[in-house]
Structure 1
């Protein structure tokens, strides 16, 4: 009887050990998946930061180009106004 109880106890302990071992392996798998996911998200985060930086750089370049174009157009218009005023003065002098 005692031998049977010892044997049953050893079997129960072995089963519990097996369950604990299986649970630990499952948890290890979860940890590995979580680490992999965290690493992937970190990589994605870096890529997104680079993308944001590039978009900001592109935006700044576009602003500079647009300002330059506006400035050049203003200078062209100012030159056209001066030319037209000069022509108007010349025409005015011809008729006086």
Structure 2
């Protein structure tokens, strides 16, 4: 399983661990990922995703999973999140037409 947030695309970054004597060795900065279950109001079901703590805060700030996915860019989302976004858009467009 890749260490990548499914909603924001945040992944592993690399950098240097710098010691007191200023020696530099490579290290990895891992994203703060959680397995969460989010509720979709449009689909009336829950969805399991692996998201970062930052993305979880953004979902809450924007008013839920549906609102977050409506504003999110397609290139940042994982394949599963893209399909979920399309399902939600289709579901919300159907009653209005």
Under TM normalisation by the shorter chain, which class is it? under 0.3
What TM-score, normalized by structure 1, do the two folds share? 0.23
More helix by share: 1
What TM-score, normalized by structure 2, do the two folds share? 0.23
* Structure of higher RCO (CA pairs closer than 8 Å, 6+ residues apart): 2
Find the structure with the greater CA-based Rg: 1
More strand by share: 2
